[in-house]
Structure 1
């Protein structure tokens, strides 16, 4: 029996697929580092009986290679009670009170560099707790300019400022401060270099960002956050083969354990027309329970099904459409299934699929009715 001519399917492959670009993420808490420093300093400077120098010597320096000369960190008796009052307000979550007291301390003619910097850093944390990031950035900038904190606190405050500028999409300012931070601390910590790469990506300097991320992945192969940021940046730089290679290696090592991670890989394979590889990743993801039924998975199955149809792999196309149709949001997948079954000469199955398409709703019900009427 001669097969009927092929009827066009209702999914356009290029329109349905597109490019999956992940959004770069930088996970950093703009408050945490400085708040830890404040807790340490509460015991040292504000009446707990230990000298600041002893406190800082009790733990390794966070920035041991810093070029900055660490200043004298002393609190005068006259200012001490004001700092203690500010501290009490901080511990009571009285953020507005902290800011008011900090500004009062900073304005005192007798306040030294350390006292002003300490007050401004506390005000910055209070403003951040109020989710007033621009104001927090202003206070952190003043703390840095006062140049009175010990190195760990000074550079933690600088890093906090970078994170806020990055979050506010003030990328040029963030990059300038980040470059200063790296030049002075000589840090090569992955989280610091990754933040610089994230800033460059925000500025659409994707090639520079990708170079940093690829180096970080090579040095930190088990850090999935760095990996996914690297993939995102490579995709943004149109380096899809490189992105697929990174994801493929991570997949082989069992690192991709979330739906979005698997989808980044198999959509990358689809865009590279590596259909068999894409299907393998999807099926393994479903078998492991990582990929769950839903509209996204249905759409991706339909893309594979249409590719199989165009390659004249009709049994495979039918099988893939059968997987896609029940989880689809509408009846278009059932209609495509009906068309492929009709093309394959399976009239009874085609009519049943067409009825299911109508039940779920399609844009062109006449196509389904035409198959049913035969």
Structure 2
């Protein structure tokens, strides 16, 4: 059996959400200077009493999620004939938040950009808003704009922290600049005492895109050294090995996890069983499935019974294979399990039962080996001295390219008076 490659690691790169207190707060004399190395001088901030009253109330409403009530107040300030730049900037950042909450992405970006370009907010609010604009641009897939915004943020603040580096790596990944994404995420992870899981996911996804499986394995092994029983990391490492066609290593990782009691889901048991099968270890594969079923961790559904039948057949355990295929037959919507059942019964010298299974397989349809089913059905009939039925089955097998030659030989032999000899089961 061929084991299809597993899907690549899913990317879950969560971006920071808006912090209302950070975006909406006005400058305070006691506020900590978050950007001491900024090239921008703190602007003078003043607004009229009416502007202050309206915007303060609007800010409270936005923080409380009452955007519909806040919007008229914001628009009132912006419509004022003598509105100052600070009031305009403050109102625009509020307007950007309202639009964003309403999922009006373009107006939200425009208002937020306007609040920045007015250059009137205090440094903490101004640069915080600039960083959030970069996040908004990433979420709206404006990656080139986000790069420019981040570059400006770094240039004007002199700040480069792990979150910022990780956001840059996220952008590189989305731009399909995988090497840059991997290198940048490594920097972010190295610079942080508590790297976010999403950062590792982007790093792993980038390494996968680059087919750098060895490097990906090293990254995960480093993480497992800290948390050796982390099943998510264990499964990721197995996935890396599978994509690198290193099945023995994948088996070792998952089998050790099973010994520790970390493998508990049906998906994990089936994956390990398929790995054993792919590595031509059908006995181990069957044992894994049986263990999972016995423990109640694996439900003996069609997929499991069909797989168990396959690996038991490969392990030459006819009784196990026949039992599993019989269960799969009762659960199936096509005839493939019945075909395998008929095949096993035929070579177990249970011809009458094989005939029933093969006829049922053909009737259900959807067969991947329909020609072979007719060949074996013909053989069953021939060994039962029912030559007419045998010829009829073989003639149908002639219609399939994969079995035409076999069917031709059998028909020729029978018509020449040569009795068909039982062949050995193919391995």
Give 5+ residue unaligned stretches, structure 1: 1-8, 42-51
Relative CO higher for 1 or 2, CA cutoff 8 Å, sep ≥ 6?
1
Residue 55 (str. 1) matches residue 30 (str. 2): yes
The 5-angstrom pairing of residues 1-374 of structure 1 reads: 9=1, 12-13=2-3, 16-29=4-17, 31-32=18-19, 34-38=20-24, 40-41=25-26, 52-56=27-31, 59=32, 61-87=33-59, 89-90=61-62, 93-220=65-192, 222-225=194-197, 226-254=199-227, 257=230, 259=232, 261-286=233-258, 291-294=263-266, 296-309=267-280, 313-322=281-290, 327=298, 330-361=301-332, 364=336, 365-373=338-346, 374=348
Q: Distance in 1 between matches of 2:101 and 2:310?
A: 59
Q: Which moved more, 1:150-159 or 1:91-100?
A: 91-100
Give 5+ residue unaligned stretches, structure 2: 349-427
How far did residue 149 of structure 1 move? 0.5
SS at match of 1:125: helix
Classify 1:308/1:323 alpha carbon distance in 2 versus 1 (closer, same or farther; 3 Å).
farther
How far did residue 242 of structure 1 move? 1.3
Classify 1:88/1:298 alpha carbon distance in 2 versus 1 (closer, same or farther; 3 Å).
closer
Q: Distance in 2 between matches of 1:20 and 1:349?
A: 34
Deviations along 1:269-302, one digit per CA (max 9) or x if unpaired, are 12223334322332454466654323x3254224
SS at match of 1:54: coil
Deviations along 1:202-249, one digit per CA (max 9) or x if unpaired, are 111111111101222233364242222211222123322211210121
| Alignment TM-score, normalising by the size of structure 2 | 0.71
Is the radius of gyration larger for structure 1 or structure 2? 2
SS at match of 1:209: helix
Cα RMSD of the aligned pairs, angstroms, is 2.7
| Alignment TM-score, normalising by the size of structure 1 | 0.81
Given that 1:302 and 1:333 are in contact with CA atoms closer than 8 Å, whether structure 2 keeps it comes out as no
Classify 1:221/1:54 alpha carbon distance in 2 versus 1 (closer, same or farther; 3 Å).
closer
How far did residue 193 of structure 1 move? 0.9
Given that 1:269 and 1:277 are in contact with CA atoms closer than 8 Å, whether structure 2 keeps it comes out as yes
